[in-house]
Structure 1
Amino acid sequence: MTVWLDNAEISIIIGAAVFLLLFIPGLIWQYVRYGQFTARRMIGWLAVCVYGSALVVYTFVPLPSDGAAWCAEHAARANTNPFQFVDDIRRKTAGMSLTQSARSPVVLQVVFNVVLFVPFGAILRRYFGRGVVFTTAAGLLTSLAIESLQYTGLLGIYPCAIRVADVDDVITNTLGALIGALLAPAFLWWMPSAKRASEKRLQPRKVTVWRRWTGMAIDAALFFILSAAVSVAYNVYELLTRGAVSQEQPQWVLIVSVVLPVLSVFVVPAAGGRGASAGQKIVWLTPKWVDGNTLTDSNPVMRIARSLIVVGPWVATDFLSDGSTAKGVIGLVSAVILFLTVVMVPFTANRRSFSGFITRAVFVDSRDPVAGGPENKAPEPLTGAKKRELGV
């Protein structure tokens, strides 16, 4: 029991760490797949991360620290006799009371194998929207994969089986997945179904503070991920060609690690699309300019200028000498602009940030008919109510 509780604690810690690592990807997936952020489905994403970690921990941890010593003491083991657990329970609980039998390790092991896959069935059925047959089959295949990895010593990493490969585990795991799939609608009724959420994907929604901030956070995350990817790629190249990594990277690598993210996240989407950055596109927002009673995309120069107002000064400091007066001044200006960009959003009628205020751009849902909708049709005329909503 102590081992099971320890594994539960480890699973929660690892699962929470995985969730934080995958929070932005999960957020992007929600907006792309469902057109909006759903807190209850994000809770489901947390459950997926924790359960996935638990499945790995409970089926593989602890791993032998010395594979050779482990294999010298443990012969390869496997049970290919279906329902052997029935005979084991009958034999090992002979003479016990019903309560004693229920608490015996041989019974608890079977129960645990069933319970371990109940969340698998529930998550696949309700969170991912799969049917009972598909979910049960997926449970069967997943259990087979786990037992195969155990029996082959993680595909040969260990020279012998690291756990008992048991056909009964496959049977009880599959039963657990089936039970989870059947119970999911009753116990996870509060979880919005994937199908119903995706059906409302193209429905326009209000431009909120949190949507604006989410778009900014996604832009920042994509920028830093791309920047880090350039540096990592160069280090891998050096490691493969020279066998070592330099302590300082060439200047051109540093330049590319800044210029590439700026172009990819801000400039190219603004120039070639409807003016939105990558993060804004993901959360279904687009900047527009008022032209009489309609909204327009303005011209590429204006769109690019708006996209660089915040990130431009901040990036410029990377190309100036350390300690120079110009770098200090531009760095201070960049910090002020960044601060205003975040802080201004709740206090503007259209949730404008600093760049929108300077360029007179307004933000609308890209699915809104006044923005041309997702098909990029001719925009509908602005009504008086819509102008008041946009603050123009």
Structure 2
Amino acid sequence: MNERLWPGWIAILFGCLFLLVTGIYLLALQYRRYGRLSWGRSIGTTGVVVYLFALGAYTMLPLPASRGDFCATQGHRGFQKEPLNFLHEIQADLSGPMGAILRDPAFVQVALNVLLFIPLGLFAVRWLKSGFLGALALGALATVAIEMTQYTGVWGLFGCAYRFADVDDLMANFIGALIGAVLAYLPVFAWLGGPARNAEELGPRPLTRPRRLLGMVFDVAFLQLVWLLVAGIQMAGEALGFGVAGHPLLFWAYLLAPAAAVVFAPGLGRTRASWGQRCVWIGAVSGDGASAGSGRTLLRALLGAGGFSMAWNLSVLMPGTGLGGAGAGIGLLLLVAAVISVLLDPRALGVSIRLSGLSMADLRVPAGPARMNRIRSNA
């Protein structure tokens, strides 16, 4: 495969894998910030992720086969400190035809370094919304970080620098970021930034079925994230020799921590909303539009995502047992009932909301008559 292309394929592969794992959380953050999902913002986020992997692939790969062999046979690459040194390297081609200059390895290297950082300036202005000076600062910091990483052998991971650090690379990368920041102000790139207004500026929106279902999907994703966090803590404890495996507290952590962190604890907060519901800007309210009581809120959580999480986790922790089978049945029942209720209910309310005597409202509507009128308008 062409040596110029294979790092790009590596970036696409790992970027797609990263999005497969984290995409739902990126969508949750997008909805939380803008109050809706945007194709432009989503495509921009995909581009940023793939670009960051490409930036790492083109500046760090290929890695040496081992930490020591490269240093023993090749030695330390060092740092090229002379500005515009590449002009000396292509001097023989400067007096020749243009094609000879374009094929010169030194010129190609500088040109690619410029091109590599153009997207950084573009994404900084449009996607990150850093402004022109912010894009230049980010470009400078990024290129310095990359050259220092190369010079230190990935900060000591390898015994010596396996790639040259070059002051010309610093200059070329910064120029690329500058060009990208200028191009970002062209109207053709306006879509990369997503919606012009954030969620608060957008104001209240109808409690539609897709919005309710999306909040449920976000909740399930966050529940899984907390489960993985507990698993990570277990692995770290075992690696450090603490004998975590088999500890009674570990069972209860897996069983209760996801529901407690994602549903019960945030549900008792001011918004009376789980993490997923907060992302889509909806929360539980009482019949008069005021904040829901703690008792009804806990009942709703137990009959909804909280109960589903604990029941399903029990089935995973105790497979092949009566309790595990009961947990799987209860979890599946709660999930199916919630989805069907949202699909069939005139106001897209879940069965847990109905049974607890509560309702749902947009979090951007203040408590009181205005909120109640808003709820009725969605009926």
Answer whether TM exceeds 0.5 for this pair.
Answer: yes
Q: Runs of 4+ in structure 1 displaced over 4 angstroms?
A: 199-202, 319-327
CA distance in 1, matches of 2:53, 2:190: 24
User: What displacement does 1:189 show?
Assistant: 1.8
1:354 pairs with 2:351 = yes
Equivalent residue for 2:370, pick from 366, 372, 380: 380
- 1:286 and 2:283 matched: yes
State which drifts further: 160-169 or 294-303.
294-303
Q: Name the counterpart of 2:291.
A: 297
The answer to whether 1:309 aligns with 2:282 is no
Corresponding residue for residue 110 of structure 2? 110
Give 2:258's aligned amino acid: P
- 1:235-384 equivalence runs, <5 A: 235-242=235-242, 246=245, 249-290=246-287, 294-310=288-304, 311-312=306-307, 315-316=310-311, 318=314, 323=320, 328=325, 331-368=328-365, 372=366, 377-380=367-370, 382-383=372-373
Residues 10/327 of structure 1: CA separation in 2 closer, same or farther (3 Å cut): closer
Q: Which amino acid aligns with 1:239?
A: A
Match of 1:64 in 2: 64
Residues in 2 aligned to 1:321 and 1:67: alpha-carbon distance in whole angstroms: 44
Cα 1:87–1:235 shift into 2, 3 Å: closer
Q: Which residue of 2 aligns with 1:390?
A: 378
Residues in 2 aligned to 1:86 and 1:41: alpha-carbon distance in whole angstroms: 41
Distance 1:88 1:264, change over 3 A: same
**Residue range with higher mean Cα deviation, 112-121 or 350-359:** 350-359
Identity %: 29
Listed one character per residue, the Cα deviations across residues 122-158 of structure 1 (whole Å, up to 9, x for unaligned) are 0001111122222122212211111111111112222
Aligned residues: 374
CA distance in structure 2 between the partners assigned to 1:330 and 1:18 by the alignment = 31
| Residue 269 of structure 1, CA deviation | 2.4
Ranges in structure 1 where 5+ consecutive residues have no aligned partner:
none
Report matched runs for 1:23-42 at 5 Å. 23-42=23-42
Q: In structure 1, what is the Cα distance between the partners aligned to 2:79 and 2:167?
A: 8
Contiguous gaps of at least 5 residues in structure 2: none
* Aligned twin of 1:152: 152
State the secondary structure of the residue aligned to 1:191.
Answer: helix
Over the aligned positions, Cα root-mean-square deviation in angstroms equals 2.7
**Superposed counterparts of 1:133-282, under 5 Å:** 133-186=133-186, 187-192=188-193, 196-198=196-198, 200-201=200-201, 203-242=203-242, 246=245, 249-282=246-279
Contact 1:271–1:301 (8 Å) recurs in 2: no
Whether the 8 Å contact between 2:285 and 2:360 is mirrored in structure 1 is yes
Deviations 1:360-385 (A, max 9, x none): 433221112xxx2xxxx5442744x8
CA distance in 1: counterparts of 2:14 and 2:320, whole angstroms:
42
Alpha-carbon distance in 2 for matches of 1:234, 1:381: 44
Structure with greater contact order relative to length (CA < 8 Å, sep ≥ 6): 2
Q: Deviations over 1:215-251 (max 9, x none)?
A: 1122112222222322332332233235x674xx233
Could you state the TM-score of these two structures normalised by the residue count of structure 1?
Answer: 0.86
TM-score by length of 2: 0.89
Q: 1:107/1:277 Cα in 2 relative to 1: closer, same or farther (>3 Å)? A: same
Contact 1:351/1:363 (8 A) holds in 2: no
